[in-house]
């Protein structure tokens, strides 16, 4: 009998040890769920979920974010959608639900698609400064600003990425603090909207066009890169060409100069989108003016252009995005070789 009790005690001890041993292994972390399910489980993304459901045609956006895949989604919180509603409606009390109306469905769908990449891009893989093409087409870019990733959208609005690398079964989610908007203006329209800074450039384009061809070209599909001189740059060129210290841009927009002005403007246009990060320093860059090139130098202090007459222009601002390309601002009108 003692032997029997001994067996029972030993068995009980082994069972207890086994039970205790099972507690030594922490439970497995939950497996990631889809991007859609992740958003549905996050109260601060309820407006995003509502917008996805509203803008879907036959559940296409819902299925995209819920099915298997390798996606990247930049997810704005509820406050960002409320802010967008105020902007679109002009009503200071507007909320996200106010923009989810039939008349806005196409716009909301395009905006949502603009937040989605069709490949998985974790924070460590962000191509800083490069053009990023979302599912809706167009581009935006992300820069590293004091170790914070900042998005410039198609309307040149700045948006912070507030949290990165939320893993999902079909990709990754990054949280942002503003709804991104795709570009809605071409290069000429962007220049006009920036008036008066580019008023002389716009006037020169209109003056030098034959049947509005230069304006029409730069309003086309592109993409283009335009190095855009400011009004002060055109005034300086007028003084340089006329020898009159009081001359302004209007002084060179005369019939005798039309061919010259036309060639000068074409010299400022590239037939491709070239962001600052794409520029290869000290390499000849071909322009829309056949056979004419210039070079760009980049130092820690400045980025400059050496034109065909060895004149130096400073690039004062870069990467102003438009629907069909990009604008870089320069402080001098560059001239092709004679």
pLDDT of residue 31: 81
Task: Kindly state whether residues 163 and 200 are assigned to the same domain.
Answer: no
Same domain, residue pair 92 and 168 = yes
Check: CB of residue 163 under 8 Å from CB of residue 44.
no
**Residues 161, 217: one domain?**
no
Output the pTM of the full model: 0.86
Domain that holds residue 160: 35-176
pLDDT at 18: 45
- Do 136 and 108 share a domain, yes or no? yes
pLDDT < 70 positions in the chain = 1-29
The DSSP H or E segment spanning 248 is: none
CATH of the domain at 133: 2.30.180.10
One domain, residues 153 and 216: no
What's the pLDDT score for residue 12?
43
Residues 62 and 43 in one domain: yes
């Amino acid at each position: 009998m003692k032997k029997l009790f001994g067996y029972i005690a030993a068995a009980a001890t082994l069972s207890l040890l086994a039970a205790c041993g099972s507690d030594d292994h922490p439970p497995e972390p939950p497996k990631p769920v889809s991007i859609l399910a992740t958003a549905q489980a996050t109260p601060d993304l309820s407006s995003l979920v509502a917008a996805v459901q509203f803008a879907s045609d036959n559940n296409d956006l819902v299925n995209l974010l819920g099915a298997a895949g390798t996606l990247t989604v930049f997810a704005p919180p509820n406050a960002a959608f409320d802010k967008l509603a105020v902007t679109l409606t002009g009503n200071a009390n507007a909320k996200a639900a106010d923009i989810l109306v039939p008349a806005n469905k196409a716009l909301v769908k395009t905006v949502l698609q603009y937040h989605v990449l069709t490949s998985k891009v974790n924070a460590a893989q962000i191509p800083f400064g490069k053009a990023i093409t979302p599912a809706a087409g167009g581009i935006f870019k992300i820069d590293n600003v004091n170790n914070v990733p900042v998005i410039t959208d198609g309307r040149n609005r700045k948006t912070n990425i507030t949290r990165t690398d939320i893993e999902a079964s079909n990709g990754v989610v990054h949280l942002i603090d503003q709804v991104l908007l795709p570009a809605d203006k071409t290069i000429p329209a962007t220049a006009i909207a920036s008036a008066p800074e580019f008023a002389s450039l716009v006037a020169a384009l209109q003056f030098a066009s034959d049947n509005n061809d230069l304006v029409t070209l730069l309003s086309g599909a592109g993409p283009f890169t335009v190095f855009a001189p400011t009004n002060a740059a055109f005034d300086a060129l007028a003084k340089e060409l006329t020898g009159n210290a009081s001359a302004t841009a209007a002084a060179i927009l005369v019939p005798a100069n039309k061919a010259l002005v036309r060639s000068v403007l074409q010299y400022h246009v590239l037939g491709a989108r070239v962001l600052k990060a794409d520029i290869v320093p000290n390499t000849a860059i071909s322009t829309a003016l056949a056979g004419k090139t210039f070079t760009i130098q980049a130092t820690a202090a400045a980025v400059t252009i050496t034109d065909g007459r060895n004149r130096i222009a400073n690039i004062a601002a870069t990467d102003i995005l438009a629907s069909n390309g990009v604008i870089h601002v320069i402080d001098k009108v560059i001239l092709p070789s004679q």
